[in-house]
Amino acid sequence: MADRSDPLSDASNEALLVLFANGDRGAAETLTLRLTPKVMGHAYRLLGHRAEAEDVTQEAMLRLWQQAPNWRQGEAQVTTWLYRVVANLCTDRLRRGARSAPLEAAGDPADDRAEPAQNMQEAARAEALQVALNALPERQRQAVVLRHIEELGNPEIAEIMQISIEAVESLVARGKRALSASLRDQSEELGYSE
Amino acid sequence: MTHDKDTKRDPEGSFLETHFEAARQTASAPGNDLVQRILADANKVQSALAVHPEAPIQTGPRGVMAFLQALGGWPAAASLSSAAAVGLWIGIAPPDVLTLVAQDLLPTQVEDGDDATAGGGFDFFEEML
């Protein structure tokens, strides 16, 4: 989605946020196009519900815009801050019990861009994974998603979740064991094997 | 791929990795409507910043926070609270040892059977009447 001719496309998120605070409209657009897919993807993985993930995405981005004038350079990466905000917003929603049943959520279309013929099995696997993720405790789910879907390193995950690296490793290991057991149960039904 | 080592070590790794890869490939993309809503929010915030550029900047703490800061921050406030609580406790239920120390230190003591000291004030008032 990013425009290669955009002169801001090479700027860091932090620099763009400063430009945004100074009134640069182009910075808002570049940041939106760059960050929204990440935020949306993470919110969807944590909530398992597309409409609610969109609400969380809009709210997280709004908080980023509001934070821009007070952003302190060098303290945290924008993405780290955003992942933390998304996690907190998702946790609030899950605790309020506002979302629909997770299994209903698993039926949401995962990708508007997907080509059905090519991606049917991938979509089935992704959907099975989402069902299994929905069944995990919140912190395990967040750690597994950050580690294995967002592909972040343990130190950054520790910073996002505000826990030690050892705690991240423990959460990921326990989450993967639970996921594996859950997916094994589903694999025969989905018609694929290792 | 950042998980190759994990996959080699863990026989379950490749099974799970196929699912993680599928999830990465079928990421939930934001719709155009959502992008437009986010940009509209950005414009509103930027417009507000243009009108009140100094508004988001906090010049200093106010109210309770300012009071706490004047005391020396949270550690000082916590120490002060602890000291006050201990003082209240000693006032309500003084420990026995405190009474003994007070008797040793205070200059005016009342000895049992010392009528001149103990009843002096009462006699004075009787004479006045």
pLDDT top residue among A20 and B4: A20
What is the model's pLDDT at position A52? Answer: 92
Q: Report residue B118's pLDDT band, with 50, 70 and 90 as the boundaries.
A: very low
Could you tell me the pTM of the whole model?
0.64
State the alpha helices, DSSP H only, in A48-164.
50-67, 78-96, 102-106, 116-135, 138-144, 154-161
Confidence of residue B13 (pLDDT cuts 50, 70, 90): confident
Angstrom distance (rounded) from CA A38 to CA A28: 16
Mean pLDDT over A171-187 rounds to: 90
> What residues contact residue A105 under an 8 Å CB cut-off, 6+ apart?
A47, A48, A49, A50, A99, A130, A134
Q: Per-residue pLDDT averaged across B36-64, rounded? A: 73
Cβ A119 vs Cβ B25: under 8 Å: yes
- The minimal CB distance from A41 to the residues B18, B27, B31 is found for B27
Tell me the mean pLDDT in the region A31-45. 94
CA A188 to chain centre: 28
Among A5-14, A142-151, B10-19, B101-110, the range with the most confident prediction by mean pLDDT is A142-151
Q: Give the closest of A29, A66, A128 to B19, CB-based.
A: A128
Q: Residue B34 — very low, low, confident or very high, per pLDDT cuts 50/70/90? A: very high
**Percent of chain A clearing pLDDT 70 (strictly above):** 82
A97: left (phi over 0), alpha (psi -120 to 50) or beta: left
Q: Which CB contacts under 8 angstroms, 24+ apart, belong to B53-56?
A: B53/A69, B56/A66, B56/A69, B56/A70
**Residues A138 and A91: beta-carbon distance below 8 Å:** yes
Q: How many CA atoms lie within 13 A of A141 on its CB side?
A: 21
pLDDT-based confidence at B70, cuts 50/70/90?
low
Contacts of B38 in chain A (CB under 8 A): 32, 36, 57-58, 61-62
What are the tokens at B24?
Answer: 């990465």
Q: What is the pLDDT of residue A184?
A: 86
| Torsion angle, alpha carbons of A111, A116, A121, A127, to 10 | 30
In this predicted model, what pLDDT tens digit does every residue of A141-160 receive, in sequence order?
999 999 999 999 999 999 99
Mean pLDDT of A61-86: 91
Question: What was the pLDDT predicted at A153?
Answer: 96
Give the pLDDT confidence score for residue B116 in this predicted structure.
46
**Min CA distance, A97 vs chain B (Å)?**
22
Q: What are phi and psi of B119, to 5 degrees?
A: -100, 0
**Binary contact (A65, B2; C-beta < 8 A):** no
What pLDDT, on the 0 to 100 scale, is given for residue A145?
95
- pLDDT band with cut points at 50, 70 and 90 for residue B97: confident
In chain B, the residue whose alpha carbon lies closest to the alpha carbon of A58 is B38
Tell me which of B87 and A28 has the higher pLDDT.
A28
Average pLDDT over residues A127-154: 94
**pLDDT at residue B120 greater than cutoff 50:** no
Gap between the terminal Cα atoms of chain B: 105
- pLDDT at position B93 is 79
User: Given pLDDT bands bounded at 50, 70 and 90, which one contains residue B81?
Assistant: confident
Please give the pLDDT value at position A103: 42
From the list A55, A57, A54, the residue with the least C-alpha distance to A65 is A57
Report whether pLDDT(B100) > 80.
no
Contact A61 B22 (CB under 8 A): no
How confident is the prediction for chain A on average, in pLDDT?
84
- Structure token pair of residue A98: 């506002």
Q: Does B16 touch chain A (CB under 8 A)?
A: yes
Distance CA A158, CA A147 (A): 10
Locate all alpha helices (DSSP H) within chain B, ordered by sequence.
4-9, 11-25, 32-51, 63-71, 74-92, 96-105, 115-118, 120-128
CB contact under 8 A, A69 and B28: no
pLDDT at A3 over 60: no
